[in-house]
Amino acid sequence: MASEATIRNPQSAIRNAESVIRLAPCQRRLFADAARVIVVNWHRQRGKDFAAAAKAVDHTIRTGQDWYIVSITQRQADATFDKAKAIAKAFCQTAKRLAEITTTEREFVERDREIDQLFRCTARTLHLPGGGSVTALPGRDPDTLAGLTGNVIFTEFGLFPNGGYEHWRVVFPLSTRGYQVIVISTPRGKNTKFYELYSQPETYSVHFQDINKSIAEDFVLRDNNGKPTDLATFKKLYGDDAGWRREYLCEFTGDMEALVTWAQLVAAGQRVEGLPLDVIEVADGNGWKADFWRTFAGNGRPEIGWDVARHADLSVIWVNAHSVNDIRRLSKLVICRRTSFALQREIIRSLLEAYPRAVGCGDATGLGMDSNETLATAFGSRWQPVTFTQRSKRELGSGLMTAFDEGSIALPAAAVEGEHKRIATDIYALQKQGDKANLIISEGLNPLEPDSHCDIAWAAALAIRASGIAGTTAYLSVA
Are residues 70 and 154 in contact, defined by beta-carbon separation less than 8 angstroms?
yes
pLDDT at position 13: 40
Q: What is the pTM of this model?
A: 0.62
Q: Which residues contact 123 (CB under 8 A, 6 or more apart)?
A: none
CATH number of domain containing 64: 3.40.50.300
pLDDT at position 16: 55
Q: Is residue 476 part of a domain?
A: no
Phi, psi of 282 (to 5 degrees): -120, 125
Residues 322 and 404 in one domain: yes
pLDDT at position 289: 92
Q: Is residue 475 part of a domain?
A: no
pLDDT at position 422: 94
Q: Is residue 479 part of a domain?
A: no
pLDDT at position 5: 33
HSE-up of residue 128 (Cα within 13 Å, Cβ side): 29
For the chain, what is the HEC assignment?
Answer: CCCCCCCCCHHHCCCCHHHCCCCCHHHHHHHHCCCCEEEEEECCCCCHHHHHHHHHHHHHHHHCCCEEEEECCHHHHHHHHHHHHHHHHHHHHHHHHHCCCCCCHHHHHHHHHHHHHHCEEECCEEECCCCCEEEEEECCCHHHHCCCCCEEEECCHHHCHHHHHHHHHHHCHHHHCCCCEEEECCCCCCCCHHHHHHCCCCCCEEEEECHHHHHHCCCCCECCCCCECCHHHHHHHHCCHHHHHHHCCCCCCHHHCECCCHHHHHHHHHCCCCCCCEEEEEECCECCCCCCCCCCCCCCCEEEEEECCCCCCCEEEEEEEECCCCCEEEEEEEEEECCCHHHHHHHHHHHHHHCCCCEEEEECCCCHHHHHHHHHHHHHHHEEEECCCHHHHHHHHHHHHHHHHHCCEECCHHHCCCCCCHHHHHHHCEEEECCHHHCEEEECCCCCCCCCCCHHHHHHHHHHHHCCCCCCCCCCCCC
pLDDT at position 120: 66
Residues 204 and 64 in one domain: yes
Residues 268 and 302 in one domain: yes
Query: How far, in Å, CA of 405 to CA of 399, rounded?
Result: 10
pLDDT at position 116: 61
Residues 145 and 272 in one domain: no
Handedness of CA 444, 426, 409, 321 (dihedral sign): positive
CATH number of domain containing 362: 3.30.420.240
pLDDT at position 297: 55
Angle at 59 (CA atoms; ends 31, 76), nearest 5 degrees: 70
pLDDT at position 140: 82
Residues 174 and 195 in one domain: yes
Q: What's the total number of domains in the chain?
A: 2
Residue numbers in the chain where pLDDT is lower than 70 = 1-19, 96-120, 254-256, 297-300, 324, 434-437, 470-479
Q: Which of 183, 218, 252 is the last residue of a domain?
A: 252
pLDDT at position 185: 93
Q: What percent of the chain has pLDDT over 70?
A: 86
Structural domain that includes position 380: 262-466
Q: Which residues contact 321 (CB under 8 A, 6 or more apart)?
A: 296, 297, 298, 299, 301, 302, 303, 328, 329, 330, 331
Are residues 332 and 303 in contact, defined by beta-carbon separation less than 8 angstroms?
no
Residues 185 and 90 in one domain: yes
Residues 199 and 303 in one domain: no
Are residues 358 and 301 in contact, defined by beta-carbon separation less than 8 angstroms?
yes
Q: Which of 195, 218, 252 is the last residue of a domain?
A: 252
pLDDT at position 109: 47
Residues 139 and 110 in one domain: yes
Q: Which of 219, 252, 285 is the last residue of a domain?
A: 252
